Structure 1
Amino acid sequence: MTQLHLGLNLSTKRTRKRAFLDDMRRVVPWSRLVPLIEPHYPKGKTGRPPFPVATMLHIHFIQQWFGLSDPAMEEALYDVPLYREFAGLDGGMTRLPDETTILRFRHLLETYGIAAQILGFEAQWNGKPG
């Protein structure tokens, strides 16, 4: 038991937000979306290593689903353990993406037309013609 948890397991209640994110983890074709981004994603040869593509993609979707600005998304990652868990940031990572990192990822998706491709996938998993 860590001091952070103090023996209180608050994650046992299945909230609507947790249920929604669990459903999205299951239905979004993550394994098909990540390869669209990887060729354009920074390799991190200098400076801080980049966050994994899948992590940034999950953060991008959270931001879209809950209508969060870049600064609000950064703050939510600090405040909402469920968001960190969904993005794969809950396992002892010492840093979280800041608003500039989140902004740059969104711009990368827009610059290479990946955001539009994601919308095509979204139409497919919602059963609409893409």
Structure 2
Amino acid sequence: MKQVINSEKAPKAIGPYSQAIQANGFLFVSGQLPVVPTTGEFAEGGVAAQTKQSLENVKAILLQAGITLDDVVKTTVFIKDMNDFVSVNNVYAEYFTKDFPARACIEVARLPKDALVEIEVIAVCR
């Protein structure tokens, strides 16, 4: 059985997908762009600010499902420029501080709305 999870504290989906799906003890969170939910605009301040906002959006969705970043077992980070890896990684390390999830970081040619970063996660549900 699957359940759709949506948080008002994260940006609404901009296409035919859900913010997250809970199924079989896992939460699958769709890629989160660095959109500030209250404005609908990207966070200002470059890739570090965008990474922070993407992770804040992930946190809001996890919270809606009753879990936290500590429950994340896998992340995928999509970045526009691998030269930004250190900046992205520094912000990421502020959010994941112990028992780190598995991770992939992939440079892509282009992200929706020309974002600099997008982050998706898989978490275990309690």
Q: Give the number of the structure with larger relative contact order, counting CA–CA contacts within 8 Å between residues 6 or more apart.
A: 2
Structure 1 or 2: more strand by fraction: 2
| Bigger share in helix | 1
Length-normalised TM-score, structure 2: 0.29
